[in-house]
């Protein structure tokens, strides 16, 4: 398997624009997580899904952020409108089972000017 695949790897956009980050989890995994990493706040859990259903979205910063998982092989994280403080590396990760090993993608580095 190719591992968790995220796109784009890098995105530079202007404040107010919509940003969509994409993730393809490892085939067969039933959990999918979105994390955000910044120097100031470390690695924050934004939302996670189990069997395509959002289980906990309490980490989503505000209504500008939304995440979907329309099927077992694809998830998106959308920011609309984007703001400079959203600049961070966004990681998608997946695993099989509640105690399985969590595999991370390479991350999407977002810069909002």
Partner 1 sequence: GEDVEQSLFLSVREGDSSVINCTYTDSSSTYLYWYKQEPGAGLQLLTYIFSNMDMKQDQRLTVLLNKKDKHLSLRIADTQTGDSAIYFCASNQGGKLIFGQGTELSVKP
In the complex, which residues of this chain contact partner 1 (CB under 8 A)? 4, 31, 33, 35, 41-43, 45, 48, 50, 55-56, 91, 93, 98-99, 101-102, 104-107
Q: Which is nearer to partner 1, 82 or 108 (CB)?
A: 108
In the complex, the smallest distance separating the C-beta of residue 105 from partner 1, rounded to whole angstroms, is 6
Q: Which is nearer to partner 1, 33 or 65 (CB)?
A: 33
Q: Which is nearer to partner 1, 35 or 65 (CB)?
A: 35
In the complex, the smallest distance separating the C-beta of residue 43 from partner 1, rounded to whole angstroms, is 4
3-state SS string for the chain: CCCCEEECCEEEECCCCCEEEEEECCCCCCEEEEEEEECCCEEEEEEEEECCEEEECCCCCCCCEEEEEEECCEEEEEECCCCHHHCEEEEEEEECCCCCCCEECCCEEEEEC
């Amino acid at each position: 398997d190719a591992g968790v695949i995220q796109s784009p790897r890098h995105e530079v956009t202007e404040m107010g624009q919509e940003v969509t980050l994409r993730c393809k989890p490892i085939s067969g995994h039933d959990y999918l997580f979105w994390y955000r990493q910044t120097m100031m706040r470390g690695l924050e859990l934004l939302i996670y899904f189990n069997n395509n259903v959002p289980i906990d979205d309490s980490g989503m910063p505000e209504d500008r952020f939304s995440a979907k998982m329309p099927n077992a092989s694809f998830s998106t994280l959308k920011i609309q409108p984007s703001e400079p403080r959203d600049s961070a590396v966004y990681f998608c990760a997946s695993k099989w089972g509640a105690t399985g090993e969590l595999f991370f993608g390479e991350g999407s580095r977002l810069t909002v000017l």
